[in-house]
Amino acid sequence: MYDVVFYEAFKEEETAIKKYLPHDIQAKFTPQTIQDSKDKAPLAGLISIRTQSRVPVSWVNKMKGLLSRSQGYDHVETVFKKSKTKIPCGYLKDYCARAVAEHAVMAMMVLLRKLKQQMKSFDTFQRDHLTGFECLNRRALVVGVGEIGSEIVDIALGLKMLVKGVDIAPHFKGVTYVSIQQGIAWADVVFCALPLTELTKGLLNYQLLNKAKPGMVLINISRGEISPDGDLKILLDKGLLGAVSLDVYSQESLLADYLRGKRKMTSKTIRRVLELKNHENVLFTPHNAFNTYEAVDRKASLSVDAVVSFLVKGIFPNQVSRETNPRKCVQRKEEEAC
């Protein structure tokens, strides 16, 4: 019996965790999700996952704790919804805000400068239809100005962009806050850095984004459910959106299973993602915005701290509860600032 099992542990992460993990803690590492592993029951009292494992309801009453090695924990809350058994669930506080923010801004620049088209045009050395945009004085709207969003603001201001924010709790200084309706109508680029809640699910939908300036660029590095893929496809097909970058997806675990050859095509969402991925104005990445050596090292350190705390004290440093009410931004009436 192990003390802890780490699912979804890719090579660099496993190496970093082992660097911090005390020698007397017996740990098992696997790159697989719980569903891919085919484990019939939990192999340890403490199970650690990332965002794509689905914890079987039958496991919960056999577990002592669940640690998600992620900042977002909407997928952990589903454990509470599906099971009446209460077990401690933990998550990690900020370890990757700068990494995710840099990825978001990188994606914006790739799309503004039409990098996918440029690379394809190298073979003919043609420059037709490759004219892009500079960042200087571009209008950037950051929806969700928390740890990640504030870092996006910092980088965008460094690029001398014009920046506004949307947030239900506007506490970061140096940002002009507007309603989401005002911001969408104003922006050239929109960054989504919101947590997923019942109130943010589907927030960036067709009805809202249809109000954007033609050619607006959307970057979502938070949760795919906030920007419905069906709506994005319609907006792109109609030319209302100029470009889209996603690092996160609706039904992400099903999509990952399919792309890894573990599942047959069963979802319209998966089909839409595959239809869009090769478009020249679409940039899809595999939920990898967090993945820098610096962030992985911080993540490993925080993960081990959480494991040790739980094994010794029975609690996580950052614990999810049924009463948890994460900072969230919701679309309200026109007269209310979000």
CATH number for the domain including 39? 3.40.50.720
- Of 219, 91, 199, nearest to 156 (Cα)? 219
Q: Are residues 165 and 27 in the same domain?
A: no
Q: Is residue 338 part of a domain?
A: no
Q: What is the rounded CA–CA span in Å between residue 291 and residue 297?
A: 10
Give the integer Cα–Cα distance in Å for 287 and 100: 10
- Asked whether the beta carbons of 165 and 188 are under 8 A apart, the reply is no
Measured N-to-C along each axis, helices 252-259 and 268-276 cross at an angle, to the nearest 10 degrees, of 70
Find out whether 98 and 324 touch, Cβ atoms under 8 Å: no
End-to-end CA distance of the chain: 49
CA angle 15, 17, 23 (to 5 degrees): 100
In tens digits, the chain (338 residues) has pLDDT values of 899 999 999 999 999 999 999 999 999 999 999 999 999 999 999 999 999 999 999 999 999 999 999 988 888 887 777 787 789 999 998 899 999 999 999 999 999 999 999 999 999 999 999 999 999 999 999 999 999 999 999 999 999 999 999 999 888 888 999 999 999 999 999 999 999 988 999 999 999 999 999 999 999 999 999 999 999 999 999 999 999 999 999 999 889 889 988 777 778 889 999 999 999 999 999 999 999 999 999 999 999 999 999 999 999 999 987 554 444 444 333 323 23
Compute φ and ψ for 67, nearest 5 degrees.
Answer: -115, 125
Q: Which amino acid is at 283?
A: L
Instruction: Return d(Cα 212, Cα 206) in angstroms, integer.
Output: 10
Mark whether 114 and 209 lie in a shared domain. Answer: yes
The verdict on 186 and 130 lying in the same domain is yes
CA 140/CA 177 separation, integer angstroms: 12
Residue 119 placed within a domain:
yes
Same domain, 122 and 48: no
The residue count of the chain comes to 338
Looking at residue 322, its pLDDT comes to 56
Residue 329 lies in a domain: no
The residues, ordered by sequence, that sit 6+ positions from 119 with a Cβ below 8 Å of its Cβ are none
Number of folded domains that form the chain: 2
User: Would you say the C-alpha torsion 265, 268, 273, 275 has a positive or negative sign?
Assistant: positive
Nearest residue to 141 (alpha-carbon basis) of 94, 179, 97: 179
- Residue 179 shares a structural domain with residue 198: yes
The answer to whether residues 211 and 83 belong to one domain is no
Number of neighbouring beta carbons within 10 Å of residue 58: 11
In a domain, 227, yes or no: yes
Q: Tell whether 261 and 132 lie within a shared domain.
A: yes
pTM: 0.88
Give the model's pLDDT for residue 321. 73
User: β-pairing, 44-49 with 65-68?
Assistant: parallel
In eight-state DSSP terms, residue 69 is: S
Instruction: Judge whether 196 lies within some domain.
Output: yes
Q: What is the Cα–Cα distance from 95 to 218, expressed in whole angstroms?
A: 24
The neighbour count for residue 247, using CB atoms within 10 Å, is 22
- Six token digits for residue 215: 């050619």
Dihedral angle sign, alpha carbons of residues 216, 219, 220, 225: positive
Of 70, 25, 73, 75, nearest in space to 55 by CA:
75
Q: Which of 199, 109, 194 is nearest to 156 (CA)?
A: 109
Do residue 104 and residue 236 come from a single domain? yes
Q: Are 95 and 295 in contact (CB under 8 A)?
A: yes
Radius of gyration of the chain from Cα atoms?
21
Q: Can you tell me which residue has the tokens 């099992």?
A: 5
Do 280 and 311 reside in the same domain of the chain?
Answer: no
Residue 229 lies in a domain: yes
Residue type, 334: E
Q: Which domain does 75 fall in, by range?
A: 2-93+293-320
> From edge to edge, which strands make up the β-sheet containing 27-29?
27-29, 2-6, 44-49, 65-68, 89-90, 319-320
Domain annotation covers residue 47: yes
Of the CA atoms within 13 Å of residue 263, those in its CB half-sphere come to 16
